[in-house]
Every structure is written in C-alpha cells, then in structure tokens.
Amino acid sequence: MPAPRVAVVVSDRTYRNIANDERKAYLLETPDSLVVPYSADPVAQAERVVAVREQLIDRDLMATDQLLVRNPYDPTSYEYADDALETFVKAKYYHLASIAAHLGASSIKFLKVEIEQDKSDAAGDLKANLKVTKADAKFARTIKNRLEGRFEAATDLAGKPVDVEAARAFMLERRLANDPDVLGLIDLCAAGNPVRTHRVKMNGLRESTRSLKAGLELTTNLGMKLGGGGLFTRAVESISSIEVTTEIVWLKN
C-alpha cells in the first residue's frame, strides 16, 4: 500500500487504549491515516507502521501526540502538521522554479499570494451556510503575510538550453503531473516558439488538500488534543486555496 497521507505517533499506552476501544479501533485500519505506537508492536497495518516509524526516526520526527502530514512531492517525507501548509506551498514554488530552469528560463519572480476561504466543519465538509468570520479573515491575512515573507522576490536561473524531457521527468518525480499550470508551462516551451515572459498562477495546495483533510478527520475522530499551535486545524477549516502568482522570464536571443 502507498504511504499513509497522515500519521500520528502516540504513547504505547494510548495505542493500547485505542485498540481496545470499540468506537476507535477502526482508526488503526484506515488507508489514508496511520496511528503509530511509540515503541510497541502494532496490532494493525504492521508493515506500514514499522516503515513509517523508521522514516520518522531517521528524520528526527518521533514525538508523541503530534500530527504529521506526508509531503505530496516526496512520499517518504513527513512534516509536522502546523508546518505543513507553509512548507508545501514553498516547496511547490521551488519545484516550479526547477522546472523553469530545465526550460531555459533566466529567472522566476514571486509576485503575490492570494488566499481563498471557505468555512468547513470539523470533518472538513464544506458548509455553504457558515460565514467566514473576522477572526478567520485576520488569520488568513496572517498566513498570507507569513508566506510572502518567506519567498525571495526573484530567483536567478542559469538560462541554460531548453530540455523539455528533463522538465517532464522532474515533473513526474515530484508528482506534479496533475497540475494544469505546470503541464501548460512545459507544453508552451515544447511548442518551439520562443517565450519571453510567462505568468503562472498556481494553486499551492492542489496536491496537499486530501492529505490536509485526512489529518483533520483523524484528529477529530481520535478526540485527542494533539500538540502544536493549532495553526493546522484553523487553516484546514477556513482556507480552501492558496494561489501563488509568479513571473518567469527568458533571456532574449
């Protein structure tokens, strides 16, 4: 089976309590999420638990009562939930820069971040009749400011010869083949017509959404107060999309 989208490490005692609770025991068997005992032998999905536990130990992420979200661009890597949203959006931006470099671009320039909000219930289901509050709007502005503060204004690239196949290979390696903006950029350069500038407005959460909602669902169903600053829960409940606009430039021949 593929690596779970989300995982939570719990104490051995908590794991036994979950396994013996007829209302919660099913959570040990779900395909998208994994409950990992700190050191005890698992009673379900043993191979997956051992594999994920080894990954977390290797990356120094073994901490109890912390929700971890799988990196959509690296299926062997996890991030603490409160860091996931920012990390994944930034990662996609830099993956786009790498693809642009393969396509011969001379620079990629960050322009702006836009955040779209929808109010969701605790299970992540959209509730059209719930309004985004002032607190939600303020929170979204905080996330926007944090992201904008993390991006470089511009990244200089080598401007090397166009290598469409290398760009496609990198796209597949980083699991971006379902993003129409990435595909469109590669197809644009593959057409053979010289490109001078191209603006890309990419959805920074396209590949992450299912994992983020799986994490919220697991947190809710476990009924545990997991560690972290609560940023993850607020983000998944109120932010539906983060759009990052960039401008890619090619040198004139």
pLDDT of residue 228: 63
In a domain, 18, yes or no: yes
Let me know whether 203 and 116 are in one domain: yes
Strands 107-117 and 239-249: antiparallel
Ranges of H-type helices in 191-243: 209-222, 231-238
Number of domains, the chain: 2
Let me know whether 201 and 99 are in one domain: yes
Let me know whether 135 and 30 are in one domain: no
Let me know whether 202 and 106 are in one domain: yes
Let me know whether 123 and 243 are in one domain: yes
Give the C-alpha separation, 219 to 225, whole Å: 8
Let me know whether 139 and 193 are in one domain: yes
Let me know whether 48 and 103 are in one domain: no
Name the nearest CA neighbour of 80 among 55, 63, 95, 92.
63
pLDDT of the chain, 253 residues: tens digit per residue: 789 999 999 999 999 999 999 999 999 999 999 999 999 999 999 999 999 999 999 999 999 999 999 999 998 899 999 899 999 999 999 999 999 999 999 999 999 999 988 755 544 454 444 566 778 788 888 888 888 888 877 888 888 889 999 999 999 999 999 999 999 999 999 987 778 999 999 999 999 999 999 999 998 999 877 766 677 888 888 888 899 999 999 987 6
In a domain, 222, yes or no: no
In a domain, 69, yes or no: no
pLDDT of residue 132: 60
Let me know whether 144 and 90 are in one domain: yes
pLDDT of residue 80: 93
Domain that includes residue 33, residue range: 1-64
Q: Which amino acid is at 111?
A: L
pLDDT of residue 23: 94
In a domain, 115, yes or no: yes
Q: Is the dihedral of CA 154, 160, 162, 167 positive or negative?
A: negative
In a domain, 231, yes or no: no
Give the C-alpha separation, 155 to 250, whole Å: 13
pLDDT of residue 227: 64
Beta-carbon neighbour count of residue 236 at 10 Å?
27
Let me know whether 139 and 16 are in one domain: no
Q: How far apart are the first and last CA of the chain?
A: 49
Let me know whether 115 and 55 are in one domain: no
pLDDT of residue 88: 93
Let me know whether 39 and 146 are in one domain: no
Let me know whether 4 and 129 are in one domain: no
In a domain, 176, yes or no: yes
pLDDT of residue 129: 45
Q: What is the dihedral of CA 158, 186, 162, 175, to 10 degrees?
A: 60
pLDDT of residue 126: 46
* pTM, to two decimals: 0.86
Phi, psi of 89 (to 5 degrees): -65, -45
pLDDT of residue 53: 95
In a domain, 7, yes or no: yes
